[in-house]
Amino acid sequence: MAGGTLRPLARIPWRNLRKNWRHSLGSMLSIVVGFVAIGLFEGYLSDLEELQGLWYERRAMFGSLMVERRGASTSEGRQDPIKFLLSRDEQAFVEGFFRGRPREVQELVRNLYVSGLVSTGRTGVVFFARGYDVEAGERMRGPWSWNTLSGRPLHLADPESVIVGEGLSRLLDCEVPPAERVVYRDGMPVVRERPLRCRQPRVQLTATTAAGQLNAVEPNLAGTFDGGLKELDSRIVHMPLPLAQRLLDTDGVSFYTVELGERARPSSVAEEFVAASQARGLDLVAKPWREHYWGELYRRSMALLGLYRMLVVLIVVTIAGMSVFTTMLKAVNERVREIGTLRSLGYRRRHIVTLFTVESALLALVSSILGLVVTAAIVALINGADVTYSGGIASQPIPLSVSLLPSACLFATGFLSGVAVLAALFPAHRAARLAIPDALGHV
- Which of 267, 291, 315 is where one domain is finished? 291
The percent of residues in the chain predicted with pLDDT above 90, rounded, is 35
Spell out the residues 6+ positions from residue 227 whose beta carbon is closer than 8 angstroms to its own: 165, 166, 167, 168, 233, 234, 235, 236, 395
**32 and 68 inside one domain:** no
Dihedrals phi, psi of 187, to nearest 5 degrees: 90, -5
Would you say 216 and 204 are in contact if contact means Cβ atoms under 8 Å apart?
Answer: yes
Q: Which residue range is the domain that position 379 belongs to?
A: 2-56+299-440
Share of the chain above pLDDT 70, in %: 84
Render 72-116 in DSSP notation, one character per residue. Answer: TTSHHHHH-GGGG-B-HHHHHHHHHHHHT-TTTEEEEEEEEEEEE
State pLDDT tens for residues 96-117: 999 999 899 999 999 999 999 9
Domain boundary among 254, 271, 291: 291
Q: Does residue 310 sit in the same domain as residue 237?
A: no
Q: What is the pLDDT of residues 197-245, one digit of tens each?
A: 888 889 999 999 988 899 999 999 999 988 877 778 889 999 999 999 9
Statement to judge: residues 88 and 8 lie in one domain = no
Total domains present in the chain: 2
Which pLDDT belongs to residue 365?
Answer: 85
In angstroms, rounded to a whole number, what is the distance separating the alpha carbons of residues 410 and 68? 43
My answer on whether 347 and 278 are in the same domain is: no
Mean pLDDT of the chain: 83
Residue 58 DSSP class: I
Residue 156: in which H helix or E strand, if any? none
Question: Same domain, yes or no, for 306 and 420?
Answer: yes
**262 in the same domain as 230:** yes
Is the distance from CB of 61 to CB of 137 less than 8 angstroms?
A: yes
**Dihedral sign, Cα of residue 19, residue 317, residue 54, residue 234:** positive
pLDDT of residue 109: 96
Q: Does residue 67 sit in the same domain as residue 52?
A: no
For residue 258, how many C-alpha atoms fall within 13 Å in the half-sphere facing its CB? 31
Measured between alpha carbons, how far is residue 263 from residues 13, 48, 136, 178, 273 in Å? 50, 24, 21, 43, 17
Least confident of 39-43, 97-101, 416-420: 416-420
Does residue 335 share a domain with residue 284?
no
Q: Which of 291, 318, 347 is the last residue of a domain?
A: 291
Q: Do 112 and 245 reside in the same domain of the chain?
A: yes
Q: How far is CA 149 from CA 177, 226, 389, 436, in A?
A: 8, 7, 18, 77
207: Cβ–Cβ under 8 A, 6 or more apart, which residues? 114, 115, 116, 117, 214, 215, 216, 247, 248
Looking at residue 58, its pLDDT comes to 87
Measure the CA–CA gap between 436 and 73, rounded to whole angstroms: 77
Does 197 lie in the same domain as 227? yes
Q: Is the pLDDT of residue 180 over 60?
A: no
pLDDT band at 1; cut points 50, 70, 90: very low
- Kindly state whether residues 371 and 303 are assigned to the same domain: yes
275 and 348, same domain (yes or no): no
